[in-house]
Amino acid sequence: MKNNRGSIARAGNALRNVLLVLTMFFVTVPMLVVVWTSIQPNTYPKFPPTQFSLKWWNEALTGEWMRPLALSAEIAGIATIISVILGSAAAYALARSNSRARTMLEGFLTSPLLLPEIVISLAVLQFISMFGGSWLGPELLIAAHVTIGIPFVVRTVGVSLVGVDPLWERAAYDLGASRLRTFFTITLPLMKSGIFAGALFAFIMSFNNVELSLFLTSRSATTLPIKILNYMEFEYSPSLAAVAVTGMAGILLIAVIASRFTRMTDFIGGR
């Protein structure tokens, strides 16, 4: 009986490993194709590869593409900071609240995760038109991106606060620490893993966002995803692959830095 159970367990582990390898292959191969497209000389990539060239990078690393890239990074950075501040405060309040409305409020704050972003963008656009406004631009994009960033921060910070015993804070109060000092010396260090994870998710969602940006950008303020989308509508060039690799490299660098402060697996599906 024990041998049968051991065989079943080994077979299950082998199947899981195979599925994991296939999943990683499915996710990684398209990115490798994009990277290869950016460093080969032909307009349409050929296989097997024959030679390498960086000529498409010369077209990508110009003001035409760097300005939208910088704007996307700026919008994502500001939206992430605001999302972290508001989302962390909301998550802490929810974690320490015993109110009956707690579940309702938490559902309200995380509701943007349940709605398609196209619906949110149309709602924001309709809200603006109701007041006769035409002030499309970075400020409006930041506000819209905050709405999709807060739910991630609320979720990840809430998960990190599950392991924080309120008695630790009460002990600090009993020892004479103020609420502000207790928060910065006891609570905040225990929340930081959730804050970094939420900030990473919020930044990626904002930087790569298409739906909200599609409706809320103006000609003078176009983000990188919308610039790529508009370019592909009329022509194709491997320089787009170089631009995409630049964006992916930036996000990967941020993810590597964030991984030094938190384990992302703790916040995928909860602990």
φ and ψ at residue 221, rounded to 5 degrees? -140, 85
Nearest to 78 by CA among 148, 137, 139: 139
Identify the three-state secondary structure at position 185. helix
State pLDDT tens for residues 131-155: 665 666 678 888 888 988 999 999 8
- The fold of 60-267 is MetI-like fold (1.10.3720)
Mean pLDDT of the chain: 80
Euclidean distance between CA atoms 209 and 191, whole angstroms: 27
State pLDDT tens for residues 170-204: 787 777 777 788 888 888 888 888 888 889 889 98
Domain residues of the chain, as ranges? 60-267
State pLDDT tens for residues 7-31: 776 777 888 888 988 888 888 888 8
CB distance 198 to 263 below 8 Å: no
Buried b (16+ CB within 10 A) or exposed e, 137-171: ebebbbebbbbbbbbbbbbbbbbbbeebeeeebee
Q: Tokens for 18?
A: 């195979």
The whole-model pTM stands at 0.79
